[in-house]
Amino acid sequence: MNEEVLAQNYLTEYLGADSTLMQLVNSIWLRAVPDDQPDPYVKIDRLDADDVYPINLHRIWDDLTFLVRGITKVRERGVEDWSEVGAIADRLDDLLHAHEATTADIEMHSFREESFTDETLEGGDLWLHAGGIYRVRARAV
């Protein structure tokens, strides 16, 4: 089993099922976001992955890190309002920090290793990013 695929599926489904988060964003994307996607949205990127083998080739889990963040476009030039993207980041942290779950496919737990903010300039538009880097340990069941 590929724990990374299972963890990605779990994260997108778990976050998408949260009505509070979905009132703050239009959608959740894994890795790539279409150019015509209306903001705000959540983007999930896998940063790192290692299989953990304590004895021989018995893999006990996949140790992954994901950058999970909300993204919004600045609407007014010269006015960077972090409140909207900050509220998304706060909700993501409520959902993912110290989180444990077991489904029919996966056992996993997650916690935030560090917060994340960034600004990007794309096509002349300024985008604000806020969220965190989350450690996810996942095991297929």
Mean pLDDT of the chain: 94
Tens digit of pLDDT for each residue in 66-78? Answer: 999 999 999 887 7
Closest by CA position to 65, among listed 12, 138, 1: 138
Residue 8 tokens, joined: 């990605």
CA distance 14 to 59: 25
CA distance 112 to 99: 10
Residue with tokens 């935030």: 112
User: What residue spans define the domains of the chain?
Assistant: 3-140
CA distance 62 to 81: 37
Contacts of 40 (CB under 8 A, 6+ apart): 24, 25, 26, 70, 71, 72, 84, 85, 88
The pTM of this model reads 0.93
CATH entry 3.30.2000.30 includes domain 3-140: yes
Residue with tokens 């916690």: 111
Tens digit of pLDDT for each residue in 90-135? Answer: 999 999 999 999 999 999 999 999 999 999 999 889 999 999 999 9
